[in-house]
Amino acid sequence: MDLSSFGRSAALARTRAAALPRHGTLCGFTALCIAGSACATAPPAPAGSPEIETTLFLIGDAGAPDPRVVGAPLDSIRAQAAAAPERSIIVFLGDNVYPGGIPDEGRAEYMDALRRLDAQILSVPAGARGIFIPGNHDWGNEGPDGLYSIRWQGALIAGRARGRDVVMLPRDGCPGPVSVDAGRLRLVLLDTQWWLHEYIVRDSASACATGLPGGVTDSLRRALVPDRPGFVAVVAGHHPLITGGEHGGYCGFAGPYRRLGPRPQDILSRANRAMRDSIEAAFEPNPPLVYAAGHEHNLQVLGGRNARYLLVSGAGAYEKRSCVVWLRESVFVAQSRTGFMRLDVIRGGGVRLQVHVYDRAGRGGVAYTRWLERP
């Protein structure tokens, strides 16, 4: 990894961030912001503002970075998190290494897999926390060696941290949930591929707190019980609960066929439905503010049923960007672009969402902001 080029890109991102308009949304980015729309519902967060208790960066499917340059999303995250690293958490929402997770050490693809992982690890500045969630591609592209591939990736992330606070959660192919507390925020992490994997998900080396779907949902339900004033729950897993993308049976000629013969990775499959029903049932008593996912290579903000907002932030790599359809539940969508989402948990009340969107040349910035919880 060429750290000098990384630094230049970060400086460029800071310049771009400074050039962002002071109002909430870049309305010019979208052709039409009709009267009554939520174009400017929340002001942008000044970098490092003391009012922010915790900043959560959500980026998914970033496991296909350009081998020549650091992409704008990772670059911008690093620059923004560096402004207040002690209160920044960067969550990589799965599919951290395309196409099949970490291959065997002797294979030619091994070094390239390390490059893909390093690009993300290096976007976590010193003092910030980085959390990698497993995705279906990290589970050996849903293959028979998935459990071992995901364990191997977790070990590599820890081994290549170079002093950074980066970790894979849930660990070792366990389903979770794993809770991370930061002030008012409780971040609950799930390995949703564990539910969908069609090969071995446990062995004699497994030491998971629970290994049955019912146990996972019970633990998830308990993790969402408010235990402090101003409690804010954000649940993160790789697979979305609702999506207007390819995995939802939309987009291109493949859409109808996905509807007719869905794979477990698709919303319409029985296995996927069972997983989502279980997760949503656990949400019912105490709905989290946000369920965040990747999997689709686009950016979506949707209204949810058992979580107030559903975020899909899987546009971490330009080469993987894809289509998305506006659904009745949609609040914001961006397709054919890269980007990430930022959640600012405000001290004393308020949670602000920013969606950062970039084109191929790295031009862009805040395309949408919204108060998910009013201050």
Partner 1 sequence: MIASAALAVLAIVASVTPLAAQSAPDPTPPRVESLFVTPFGALPPIAPLMPANRDNHFWGVRLQYAHRARDRARAAGAVALGIDLQWRGGSVVGVTAGYRRPDCAADPAAEPAVAAFCDDHPILAVGGRFNFLTGGSGVVALFSDPSATNTLGLEIQLGVSPGIAESVTACSFGLGIPYSVSFGRTLRLVPFLTPQVGWSIGCSDAVSTSGTRGAISAGIGVQQILVRGLDAYLGYQRIFRSDAGHLIGLTISYVFLR
Residues that bind partner 1 (CB under 8 A): 29-39, 242, 244, 248-253, 255-256, 259, 267-268, 273, 276, 303, 305, 322-337, 357, 367
Smallest gap from residue 305 Cβ to partner 1 (A):
7
Q: How far is the CB of 32 from partner 1 (least distance, A)?
A: 4
Nearer to partner 1, 199 or 326 (CB): 326
Token code pair at residue 241: 């609960």
Choose between 71 and 100: whose C-beta lies nearer to partner 1: 71
Least spacing, CB of residue 81 vs partner 1, in Å: 25
Q: Cβ closer to partner 1: 3 or 34?
A: 34
Read off the tokens for 113. Answer: 């897999």
Integer CA distances (angstroms), 241 to 292, 295, 299, 315, in order: 9, 11, 14, 17
Supply the minimum distance, in Å, between the C-beta of residue 369 and partner 1.
Answer: 13
Residue 180 or 282: the one with the smaller Cβ distance to partner 1 is 282
Pairing of strands 165-168, 129-132: parallel
Residue pair 134/189 in contact by the 8 Å Cβ criterion = no
Cβ closer to partner 1: 82 or 275?
A: 275
C-alpha separations of 70 from 60, 152, 241 in Å: 15, 24, 30
**Complex with partner 1: residue 19 or 35, whichever CB lies closer:** 35
Token pair in block for residue 354: 């920013």
Rank residues 110 and 326 by Cβ distance to partner 1 and give the closer one. 326
- CB of residue 258 vs partner 1: minimum separation in angstroms? 10
Give me the amino acid identity at 155: A
Q: What is the closest distance, in whole angstroms, from the C-beta atom of residue 312 to partner 1 in the complex?
A: 12
CB of 357 to partner 1, least distance (A): 7
In whole angstroms, how close is the CB of 20 to partner 1 at the nearest point? 17
C-beta closer to partner 1: residue 169 or 331:
331
Length of the chain: 375
Give residue 119's identity as a one-letter amino acid code.
Answer: A
Cβ distance to partner 1 smaller for residue 148 or 340? 340
Q: Give min distance, CB of 40 to partner 1, in A.
A: 11
